[in-house]
Amino acid sequence: MSNEEGRAEEDLHPDVAELYIMMDKLGEGTYGTVTRARPRDNPHEEVAIKRIRLLHEDGVPAVALREIALLKSLNHENVIRLLDVCNSWSSIYLVFECLDMDLRAYLKRFGRLEGSALRRSTQRHPSNGVAQAFEKGGGLAV
């Protein structure tokens, strides 16, 4: 294990360290780092854990609160599932189902969703998913 991985393990919230075996880093963005992990009680499953560092003077970023609220309210086959949320004084951990690729990689590989493919994906569950988010007064940041 490298020093960087060792530091990451030490910084983990106890619940996250007890529940998950951290694996490789999947990506990093403005608000957090995403790491592939395996639940200790089901080592054949994989999850993606997004760690959002908290700035003490600002508290929890509004974008993180919106993401959590929106994902908890959605139930659609085309929207990633938020499985759990853990928090500590320095970070929030969002535990997601682990997918093969993100939206950017999907679009790069398969191209734009157009016409009937896009209509089919949004019409399958008209009462769920993204339409539901807009009805609740939210918007989507992609």
- What CATH number does the domain containing 68 carry? 3.30.200.20
Binding-site residues, please?
A: 50
pLDDT at 10: 47
At residue 4, the pLDDT reads: 42
Cite the annotated binding site for ATP by residue number.
50
Residue with the larger pLDDT of the pair 31 and 44: 44
Its pTM stands at 0.71
pLDDT digits (tens, 9 = 90+) for 59-115: 788 888 999 999 999 988 878 999 999 988 888 999 999 988 877 888 888 887 776
- Domain for residue 137, yes or no? no
Q: What is the pLDDT of residue 49?
A: 95
In a domain, 78, yes or no: yes
Find the angle CA(26)-CA(51)-CA(45) to the nearest 5 degrees: 55
The tally of CA atoms less than 13 A away on the side-chain side of residue 62 is 1
Task: For residue 17, give the nearest of 131, 93, 96 by alpha carbon.
Answer: 93
Within a domain: residue 117?
A: no
